[in-house]
Homo-oligomer: A and B are copies of this chain.
Amino acid sequence: MTIAAIEAGGTKFVCGLLRAGGHDCSPPAVLAKTSIPTTSPEETLHAVAAFFEGQAKAHGRPDVAGIGSFGPVELKPSSPDWGRVTSTPKPGWSGADIAGFFMRSLGVAVAFDTDVNAAAYGEYLWGSARGLKDFVYLTVGTGIGGGVFSGGGLVHGLSHPELGHLRLAREADDPFPGLCPYHKDCLEGLASGPAIEARWGKPGRELPEGHPAWELEARYLARAVAAYACVLSPERVLLGGGVGMRPSLAERVAVLLGEELAGYLPALSDPVRLAAYVARPGLGADAGLFGSAAIAMRMPED
């Protein structure tokens, strides 16, 4: 099966033509891959379609397409707006019919979900959550969001989880007001890449190991993971994204998670279990692209 995988991000669309073998144990082979800046829907969507068109001679046309999209998006299959971006501050993108465009231009069936749900599904099939029925994939970067697996399937519910907009108890010595335009000091407002930069005056990549920024970052992430553990009882939490995958961050989050839970959850009361509880995505930065292929190959039950 040849798959058009599209990780539709707010800054770029990562596109791959992938070929899946006869078994599911490893991610599909990447036949061709490109990255296209997210400008207007008109320009970006056509550039993506042109990429797949250009690959047709060498590799053939895709049999199916999977799109993991930035949001908010409409996911209810029964909605006339299924596959569209709903309302976004991103100029021109409110109402953009992403799934419909590729159904027409590629002439294939399209699986469509949030970028984070797709990444979670990729991690479930081929990454650090292989075989787990209940886990959380959290990405920490420009924003904070996540995909949730529960009982062996992706959680959609009323719309989809918004893990980054969880409001947290503040650290007493953190005067930063937070920068979420809706909630100020929700997790995203306190701990996203832009929040780190606004609080410390430098982007995270310029803040060395040992800088107090990282202890505070780990503390807030541990507090969020503790909340996910109380609400969802996941078997593991994956920490992805440019900030989330920083070396030693997951390890520190696991230690502080133990403090946050204070021994309450017996299944998470020893350091060995805690250390395995917070992990990096096995597909790393490719979780989104492979995940977009994954949802096309095997759509969740609902």
Contacts and interface: CB of A to CB of B under 8 A. Distances in A.
B134 A183 contact: no
A148 interface: yes
Contact of A159 (B87, B226, B265): B265
A302 B158 contact: no
Given A163-B231, A231-B227, A155 B169 contact: no
A166 B232 contact: no
A109 B132 CA distance: 28
Contacts of A161: 230-233
B264 A166 contact: no
Contacts of A87: 266
A156 interface: yes
A72 to B, nearest CB: 7
A231 B169 contact: no
A10 interface: no
A262 interface: yes
Interface in A126-160: 133-134, 148, 150-153, 155-160
A230 B136 CA distance: 13
Interface in A183-237: 183, 185, 223, 226-235
A185 B262 CA distance: 12
A272 to B, nearest CB: 15
A231 B233 contact: no
Q: Give the interface size class of chain A.
A: 35 or more
A268 B159 CA distance: 10
Contact of A264 (B165, B170, B233, B301): B165
A48 B165 CA distance: 46
A25 interface: no
Given A134-B158, A169-B170, 6 more contacts: A87-B266, A133-B302, A159-B233, A168-B169, A169-B169, A182-B262
16 contacts: A148-B231, A150-B151, A150-B155, A151-B302, A155-B233, A158-B229, A159-B233, A159-B265, A161-B230, A161-B233, A163-B231, A167-B260, A169-B170, A169-B185, A183-B264, A231-B232
Interface of A: 72, 86-87, 133-134, 148, 150-153, 155-163, 165-170, 182-183, 185, 223, 226-235, 260-268, 301-302
